[in-house]
Amino acid sequence: MIAADTSTWIAFLEGLPGDDVQLLDKALADSQVLMVPAVLTELLSDPELSSDVTDTLAAIPLIELDPAYWQRAGMLRAKVLAKRRKARLGDALIAQACIDRGIPLLTRDEDFHAFVYAAQLDLHM
C-alpha cells in the first residue's frame, strides 16, 4: 500500500511525467492506494475539479485515524518547527497519517524530508 501527497495527485491528474506519477498509476491499477484525509480535503478544495474526478478520488479507501493521531501530528510538527524547518499544518497531518500506518508517501514536495527525519528520531529513542 502507498499514499500520495497532493503534489503527486495534481501531477497525475494533469498527466505530467514523473516516477511518482508512474508509481501512483500502477498502485491505482493494483488497488494499492490509500487516501490521506487531509490530501482528499486539499484536492476537493479545487472549485474547478470535475464531478467525475471528485467521485473517483472519494472512492479511494481512506487511511483511518485514531483519536491520538491529532496529538501525534502536533508533536511531530513541534519537533520539525523546533529544528527551524518548514512545517505546514497540512503536511504534518499527511506525514503523521502515513507514519502511523507505516506506508510510503509519494510526493514532489521536499518539505516532507523534515518530517521523515523527525519521525526517525522517535524510532531510535
Instruction: Give the pLDDT of residue 66.
Output: 94
- Residue 122: what pLDDT? 45
> What φ, ψ does residue 105 adopt, rounded to 5°?
-115, 120
DSSP-derived secondary structure for 36-85: -HHHHHHHHT-TT--HHHHHHHHTSPBPP--TTHHHHHHHHHHHHHHTT-
The per-residue pLDDT of the chain, averaged, comes to 91
CA distance 29 to 23: 10
| pLDDT tier at 124, thresholds 50, 70, 90 | very low
Supply the pTM of this predicted model. 0.88
pLDDT tens by residue, 63-102: 999 999 999 999 999 999 998 888 899 999 999 999 999 9
Task: Report whether CATH 3.40.50.1010 matches the domain 3-123.
Answer: yes
- Which pLDDT band holds residue 60 (cuts at 50, 70, 90)? very high
Per-residue confidence at 115, pLDDT binned at 50, 70, 90? confident
